[in-house]
């Protein structure tokens, strides 16, 4: 076989690049931990500018998928393109344009909120003046101004979550990943985060959100994907998913594809006894 024929064969067999209108394009994604397969041949497309709700039961593979999409884990098989960049061959340009908020936060607790945001901005290539100016704006947007000069170690869980989101968007990313941002926080923190996500959605940021609070996803999301046991069961624009599966809410879609909670329809064998 000649060099020209080998080159021609390689070109023919090379995977096609992701369409330009997709922020995320995955095919055949696999991740194993020992004998356990956490993600099993996953295909996923997220359009640019979409607010994508990634839903599924605990242990379905949501967080593992995000870890691969952001380069924390390497995939055992499959192809990932994020913002047009192959995450195996050329991940750095994509990472520079992405923000990530993981469920388990790891913040520098001996910095103040203001210092932490300025530090994160500089890590993304902003000048100190730019980072400090954006920190002031984000502290105001996340209602943390009064605590700006307090140590992060003194922040409540909701305040830490808001600070983490502020840090993730300080460089104005094109794509933001949020893994369970509403987990374990109070109503005030949840409302602030919800308004910030609405603002990001309006300005065209692509968002991928995992959450168990489906009513929040219902109000914000334009697209959704349902995952179970490492496989995508359905994915697409919400209106199209509702029509295809004859449902009217994400709750109904989840129940139809995953199944009703085990507690549904359970009857206790005892009743409260009234004291004489």
Residue 141 CB partners (closer than 8 Å, separation 6+): 166, 196, 199
User: Same domain for 92 and 178?
Assistant: yes
Query: Whole domain around residue 114: which residue ranges?
Result: 106-172
In a domain, 46, yes or no: yes
User: Same domain for 62 and 85?
Assistant: yes
In a domain, 87, yes or no: yes
In a domain, 263, yes or no: no
In a domain, 191, yes or no: no
In a domain, 7, yes or no: no
In a domain, 195, yes or no: no
| Long-range contacts, stretch 259-267, CB < 8 angstroms, 24+ apart | none
Per-residue pLDDT of the chain (276 residues; tens, 9 = 90+): 454 543 444 334 445 555 779 999 999 999 999 999 999 999 999 999 999 999 999 899 999 999 999 999 999 999 999 999 999 899 999 999 999 998 887 899 999 999 999 999 999 999 999 999 999 999 999 999 999 999 999 999 889 989 999 999 999 999 999 998 888 788 888 888 889 999 999 999 999 999 888 888 888 999 999 999 999 999 999 999 999 999 999 999 999 999 865 555 556 665 665 555
User: Same domain for 177 and 76?
Assistant: yes
d(CA 266, CA 126): 56
User: Same domain for 164 and 177?
Assistant: no
Name the DSSP letter for residue 61. Answer: S
Q: How many domains does the chain have?
A: 2
User: Same domain for 56 and 25?
Assistant: yes
What is the pTM assigned to this prediction?
0.84
Residue 244's CATH number: 3.40.50.300
- What's the alpha-carbon Rg for the chain, to the nearest Å? 21
User: Same domain for 123 and 92?
Assistant: no
User: Same domain for 214 and 86?
Assistant: yes
- Asked if 44 contacts 232 with a C-beta cutoff of 8 angstroms, the reply is yes
Give first-to-last CA distance, the chain, whole Å. 95
User: Same domain for 177 and 88?
Assistant: yes
User: Same domain for 92 and 177?
Assistant: yes
In a domain, 168, yes or no: yes
User: Same domain for 70 and 179?
Assistant: yes
In a domain, 145, yes or no: yes
Pairing relation of β-strands 22-33 and 77-82? antiparallel
């Amino acid at each position: 076989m000649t060099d020209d024929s080998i080159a021609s064969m390689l070109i023919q067999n090379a995977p096609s690049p992701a369409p330009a209108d997709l922020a995320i394009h995955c095919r055949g994604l696999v991740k194993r931990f020992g004998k356990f397969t956490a993600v099993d041949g996953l295909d996923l497309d997220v359009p640019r500018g979409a607010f994508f709700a990634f839903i599924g039961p605990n242990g379905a593979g949501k967080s593992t998928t995000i870890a691969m999409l952001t380069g924390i884990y390497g995939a055992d098989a499959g192809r990932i393109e994020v913002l047009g960049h192959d995450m195996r061959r050329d991940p750095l340009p994509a990472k520079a344009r992405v923000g990530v908020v993981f469920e388990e936060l790891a913040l520098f607790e001996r910095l103040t909120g203001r210092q932490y945001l300025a530090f994160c901005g500089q890590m993304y290539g902003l000048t100190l003046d730019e980072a400090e100016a954006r920190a002031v704006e984000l502290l105001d947007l996340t209602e943390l101004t009064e605590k700006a000069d307090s140590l992060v170690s003194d922040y409540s869980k909701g305040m830490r979550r808001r600070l983490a989101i502020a840090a993730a968007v300080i460089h104005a990313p094109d794509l933001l990943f949020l893994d369970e941002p509403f987990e374990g926080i109070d109503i005030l923190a949840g409302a602030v985060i919800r308004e910030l996500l609405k603002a990001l959605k309006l300005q065209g940021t692509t968002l991928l959100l995992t959450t168990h609070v489906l009513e929040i996803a219902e109000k914000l999301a334009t697209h959704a994907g349902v995952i179970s046991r490492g496989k995508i069961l359905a994915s697409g624009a919400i209106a199209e998913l509702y029509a295809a599966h004859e449902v009217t809410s994400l709750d109904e879609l989840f129940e139809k594809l995953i199944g009703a909670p085990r507690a549904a329809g359970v009857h206790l064998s005892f009743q409260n006894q009234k004291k004489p």
